[in-house]
Chain A
Amino acid sequence: MMIDRIIDALRSQREVDDWKIIERRVDGRELFFVKDALDMNRAKQTQKFFVTVYHDFEENGKFYRGSSEFTIHPGEIKIESLIKENVFSSKFVKNIPYPLVTSSEKRIAFTKAIPIDSINEVAYDMYSEKLENTWINSSEIFMDHVEERIVNSKGVDVSNDVSSLYVEFVTTSRFEKTEVELYWNFKFSKFEDKVIRDKVVNAMKLTKDRAHAVSTPNLKDIPVILVGESVKEFFKYHLYKVSARYIYQHLSNAKIGMDLHENNQKCDGITMWIDPFLEGSAYSVGYDEDGFPLIKIKIIDNSSVKNIWGDIRYAHYLGIEPTGHMTNFTVEPGKTSEDDLETGKYVKVLSFSDFGMDPITGDFGGEIRLGWYSDGKKTIPITGGSISGSISDLFEIVLSKETQQIDNFTGPNSLKIIGAKISGSKTST
């Protein structure tokens, strides 16, 4: 096996003090549609070896751990010279020494592989739903089976086995002579036909709403309700704020016990977990890329920093226990129903062009593709204009008690914020 050849070559090099290999095999199928007609079908089979060599050295009385990362492809005949080249590079990398993960207990894979040849079934389900004057303009469906093996010089030899279904689609709706569209995507580790059909129906309904939308008026001092994907993006501020890498790199000043919302007048307590075993997430794995065994951990409790999360290297630098690197995160829901959030005047945004949160500064915003404006008496669909703000400038943050799952996130379905700015649009798009 190729991985054994690489291991033998690494062991034979005197200057390699430690090493790590991630072997990744991907078997994938892909379908592309324009309306309901097949545009192209594709398949993919790849294998790669991501190798890191570590070299420890002393210079002027200081100890360093150098490293260099490189990829070995199948059939590579120059393995030894690639290793030598990267050991040479590692001698210029003067990092504070850090440990590797030592032997981890083996776990049984907890995700059930989706048979990738069932991809055609996904397409049939997607196109089974109909709505007047509204249709799927185009779609792309990807099914991957990823097998990952992580081996290092300290005895780690563990595996992750992940299946994923990724769907991207655009829905179009026509009202009189005008057509509008909205963009959607989702990623799961399982295939449930009802979930797919529900997503398509919801997308078509919202696109129909956009076809009737008017330009966003200029509005001041009105609460904003974020829904869906933008809620997940909003919480990335909290997630990165308590990351060991951000703290070590001076991108965050978070400390255990710090109240992340002490400057906000009124804020629902935010409680956040990182969770490697989130059901349905295509990012659920037993081990991180260092081979560290992952467990669910509470990182923020009632807006107070409970635990800093990070991989073995950055945790070591901060002198804390490593949690491993994870991408799944959950936020506990609030106590207010969405009906109660939607009282009085508000702007509720269901779709942005691309809502963004800067986790370093806390600045956020995006262009409105579809929203609802309520003047306290009636609600109308709106489009165009933008929402922008900064976490530190918000007077109020309220979480809905209804929940949602988007890919690697579970949490409140809606979030009401007061203190964001709304820029209206002059021309209807």
Chain B
Amino acid sequence: MKVKFSDFLNDSTKAIEEIVTALSKIYGYASILGSDTRGKRYLVTDLDVNIGDSGWNERGFVLRVFNGLNYSEFSFNKIDKPSHLIDFVSEHLMKSFEEIKNHGEVLKCPRVIEEPITGTFEGEVEILPENVDPGTKIEKLSKMRDHAHDLSKQIVNFWSTYEEVHVNKIFISSRKSLRQSYIWSQGYLQAIAQNKEKTRYSYEGFSGLKGVEILDEMSSGVDKVVKASEALLDSEKIEPGEYDVICSPDVAGVIAHEAFGHGVEMDMFVKGRAKAIEYLGKKVASDLVTMHDGAAAAKEVSSYFFDDEGTLATDTIVIDHGTLKTGISDLLSALRLGTKPTGNGKRESFERKAYSRMTNTFFARGTDRLEDMILSVKHGYFLEKVSSGMEDPKNWGIQCWILYGREIKNGKITNRIVSPILMTGYVPELLSSISMVSNDLELSGIGSCGKGHKEFVKVSSGGPYMKARARLG
């Protein structure tokens, strides 16, 4: 079913156009991004139920003007009179800019020159969130919880979460008029198991450009998450060292994301923070490795038609058979570097600055079979479930917390489980060690991505199963 565009943004369009026209006359370039993202989050646990706003909800605007040397921005969520906004820009933004300009340096950025484009893009889902009442959603989540308890007496709490998000955005400048409306949803199952000594948990995630239909997919994950959390009660600590590993698609995804996703965000090129700039056109990974990023590269939670600076989405091949080809870029970084923006200018919300950010980041599929990959390991681990990761674009370190690893001995998965696992290493070394890549491809978008320790945006990542040599601790 087609997703309907926001009434609020429709009603605000005339005022936005008026402001953009007035500011463009004064400053030579002006644009406004308007957002109306709304959704609900439903949580059912053993002990309570919660219905609240999605954490991704936002409603407001951000205007950008060319100040003569670079750009100034103002985020707001109230349009009283357009003249008030225009006055605020000159009285506050420009005053602060002029003071700094007179005191020190300003990093110049060329003025945006745009090709004219207009368009409305609307997504589709099977079942629109407004067509299913909250009671049905809560009932389905409750059934998953109850099923988990039927499966195991060691489960002391079970959380089932469903979140539906309807994104509406409008981008207006003197030559662009774009609007988009789409829905993504995600689900999360978490089983908490306990015995006399330990509390352990595992999770299963579900995501996509989907509506309420995702609730039916979630039901299929209950058995797996319950078994995994029970097994973790018997988990051991891993002996630190270097091991052969088989990475599941979500672990492969976090490697793609942390290792070369952050490393090729081109605002880092502008800052001189990316080691990757020295390696463009050079070998950085095994020949088996091809890596994509792009809102148009896959259909997942970070698929959109245009980014938060009005650049249309693309599919960027970052690494092609082991060779680093290019980075991913926001508009202003591209202007400074003299490159083409790739549609990766994203904001946490209208309240924040736009940066070069990842969208859907993944390794391309290979030709190996998973069974053969496991058979090829003498002693190592099958790594599953990512907890978190952290980038180091300048020095190419990588840190990934992985929930658990299943031991592989002489080509067979044993009953021994280690948890948690901290995978660290030097990015080119890790990527060069990739020796087998399966013919699968799975993406997951249940998490979010920060830049440093803030600026959280929705992303997805994934890939096939991959065999590598990794340092685990």
Contact = CB atoms under 8 A, between A and B. Distances in A.
B53 A69 contact: yes
Given A44-B351, A46-B351, A180-B395, A38 B272 contact: no
A375 interface: no
Contacts of B76: 44-46
Contacts of B48: 95-96
With most chain B CB atoms within 10 A of its CB, the pick from A89, A183, A367, A385 is A367
Contacts of A253: 199
Contacts of B425: 425, 427
A429 B105 CA distance: 32
B424 A427 contact: no
Contacts of B351: 44, 46
Given A42-B73, A354-B399, A361-B200, A34 B271 contact: yes
Interface in A59-105: 67-71, 73-75, 86, 88-96
A249 B394 contact: no
A386 B422 contact: yes
Contacts of B454: 168
A29 B75 CA distance: 10
Contacts of A336: none
B472 interface: yes
B194 A250 contact: yes
Interface stretch (A116-124, A193-201, A268-276, A322-330): A116-124
A250 B156 contact: yes
Nearest to A168: B452
B473 A386 contact: yes
Contacts of A425: 424-426, 471
Interface string B381-407: 000000010101011111101000000
A253 B198 CA distance: 10
Contact of A354 (B100, B157, B390, B471): B390
A278 B395 CA distance: 37
- How many chain B residues sit at the interface, stated as a range, is 35 or more
A333 B282 CA distance: 51
A137 B273 contact: yes
Interface in A32-59: 32-48
Given A42-B73, A92-B134, A180-B395, A170 B96 contact: no
Contacts of A37: 104-107
Nearest to B272: A137
B422 A429 contact: no
A356 interface: yes
B77 A249 contact: no
A24 B150 CA distance: 44
B270 interface: yes
B224 interface: no
B439 interface: no
Contact of B473 (A44, A183, A317, A388): A388
A315 B390 CA distance: 36
Contacts of A181: 273, 394-395
A119 B96 contact: yes
A390 interface: yes
Interface in A353-369: 353-354, 356, 358, 360-361, 363, 365-367, 369
A367 B424 contact: yes
A424 B242 CA distance: 10
Given A38-B100, A180-B394, A423 B424 contact: yes
A123 B353 contact: no
B153 interface: no
B390 A367 contact: yes
A253 B195 CA distance: 11
A426 B194 CA distance: 37
Interface in A391-429: 393, 421-427, 429
A38 B104 contact: yes
B355 to A, nearest CB: 10
Contact of A384 (B99, B422, B426): B426
Nearest to A68: B51
A393 B72 contact: no
B52 to A, nearest CB: 4
Contacts of A33: 107
A156 B72 CA distance: 40
Nearest to B201: A360
A427 B429 contact: yes
A138 interface: yes
Contacts of B88: 43, 45
Interface of B: 40, 45-53, 57, 59-60, 70-79, 88, 92-93, 96-97, 99-101, 103-107, 133-135, 138-139, 156-157, 192, 194, 198-201, 237, 240-242, 270-273, 332, 351, 353, 388, 390, 392, 394-399, 401, 420, 422, 424-426, 429, 452-454, 471-473
18 contacts: A38-B107, A46-B78, A69-B52, A73-B59, A86-B51, A88-B133, A89-B40, A117-B96, A120-B103, A124-B104, A180-B395, A249-B47, A354-B390, A356-B401, A365-B422, A384-B426, A386-B424, A429-B392
Given A91-B135, A427-B425, 5 more contacts: A38-B107, A44-B75, A249-B47, A250-B157, A429-B395
The 5 A-B residue pairs with the shortest CB-CB distance, nearest first, are: A423-B473, A423-B240, A37-B105, A69-B52, A354-B390
Interface of A: 29-48, 67-71, 73-75, 86, 88-96, 117, 119-120, 123-124, 127, 137-138, 168, 170, 172, 179-181, 183, 185, 218, 248-251, 253, 317, 353-354, 356, 358, 360-361, 363, 365-367, 369, 383-388, 390, 393, 421-427, 429
